[in-house]
Amino acid sequence: MNSESKELSMNDFIDDIDKSFKPVKTGDILKGKIISKHDDGIIVNINYMYDGLIPRNEIAIDNDVKIHEEFIIGEDIDVYVLKNNDGEGHVLLSKKIADSIVIWDELQEIYKTSSILNVKVSEVVKGGVIGYFKGVRTFIPASQLSLNFVKNLNDFIGQNLEVKIIELDKEKKKVVVSRRIIEEENRKVKEEKLWNSLKIGELRRGKVVRLMSFGAFVDLGGLQGLIHLRDLSWRRVLKPEEVVSIGEEVEVYVLSLDKENKKLGLSLKATVEDPWNSVNESLKVGNIIEGTVKKLVNFGAFVELIPGIEGLVHLNEISEENILKPEDKLHLGDKAKVKILEINKDSKRISLSIKDAIEGNKDFEKYNESNEVTLGDLFSDKLKGFKFD
């Protein structure tokens, strides 16, 4: 082969090599493979006649990046061409600029699919906090940080949070994210699972979370149920604070389920025996005992005899005097001696008398004034008008 042929072949070979490399120019975004890493930067193969160099200050927004820990030789990364020749045989590259460009396509896909991303909170600003995702600044409004009220936003600084994008504007480089949405979704999943596991008549453990005038709300671990005032205790309850307190752990009975309307009825009193079941063991007709006035109505007064058991003192059984309303003689919370006139266990009704209890006490005191008491003394009033042969 002559020298002219050799020269032609060599030129062809060089041309083929040149053609095998795509031209590289400033502003290009390329795929590169890490081939070495040093404290001051990373060397990347960009499939070009020269390798690429990413200086430390072009790796990430965070200049404290740990090159040897966070990057692996052989790893593929996106790079941005700053200069196609830095004068020392390298193409000068930037990873942080490439990330800031490529990431917007990724963010749009994340937003479109409603996927979860992880951001690291770095600072508190007016109305919320700032977090970063692969170098992109994101804003989390205070109202979107949690389902619960956030007292101190500074508590979130340095935390890595799972969030979802709720607003994205590529042109304005604006990303608004929410952690609350994820908490809400998790709560709904947990709530659905709990609804499906509940059965009427079973006992569950829960925590009292709210007190209202009509009852107490108990959290069963992701689902709240209501204990109505009437189901807090067998005794008459005017305020839930009389029986339970916020934060208290209680065992409750599942009373009713309405999944469609999200209503769960609970009972605290159903976890203990109904005192009416043993009323005849505790109370006897003719007994005179002390009770507490619990309710005044136009026809009389309800007096609690033992916890959970009340009886009615009819208006005409309150006093020998002719009174028009029970308030003429009684007040709520008064202690009163009453005589049991009748017990009806089936209808859960007890008839009482205050005036008979007072008379009974007077008779008892009268008969005890003298040790010489005869049957005639005791029954003199009853035997008036009788003649004995």
As a whole number of angstroms, the distance between CA 331 and CA 337 comes to: 14
> For the chain, what's the residue count?
389
What residues does 296 pair with on adjacent strands?
Answer: 301
Does 177 or 71 have the greater pLDDT score? 177
Q: Does residue 205 share a domain with residue 174?
A: no
Is the model's pLDDT at 23 over the cut of 90? no
pLDDT tens digits, residue range 105-133? 899 999 999 999 999 999 999 999 999 99
Through-space distance between the first and last CA atoms of the chain, rounded to whole angstroms:
170
Check residue 40 and give its pLDDT.
Answer: 86
Q: Does residue 303 share a domain with residue 234?
A: no
* High-pLDDT (> 90) share of the chain, %: 55
SS3 175: strand
Whole-prediction pTM value? Answer: 0.55
Give me the mean pLDDT over the 337-360 stretch.
89
Q: Does residue 291 share a domain with residue 237?
A: no
334, burial (CB in 10 Å: exposed 0-12, middle 13-18, buried 19+): middle
Is 300 contained in some domain? yes
As a whole number of angstroms, the distance between CA 183 and CA 199 comes to: 26
Is the model's pLDDT at 153 over the cut of 60? yes
As a whole number of angstroms, the distance between CA 96 and CA 109 comes to: 20
Is 363 contained in some domain? yes
pLDDT tens digits, residue range 189-237? 999 999 999 999 999 999 999 999 999 999 998 899 999 999 999 988 8
Is 382 contained in some domain? no
**Can you give the CATH number for the domain in which 220 is found?**
2.40.50.140
Check residue 164 and give its pLDDT.
Answer: 97
Is 235 contained in some domain? yes
Check residue 39 and give its pLDDT.
Answer: 86
Is the model's pLDDT at 44 over the cut of 90? yes
Count of domains observed in the chain: 4
Structural domain range at position 119: 114-183
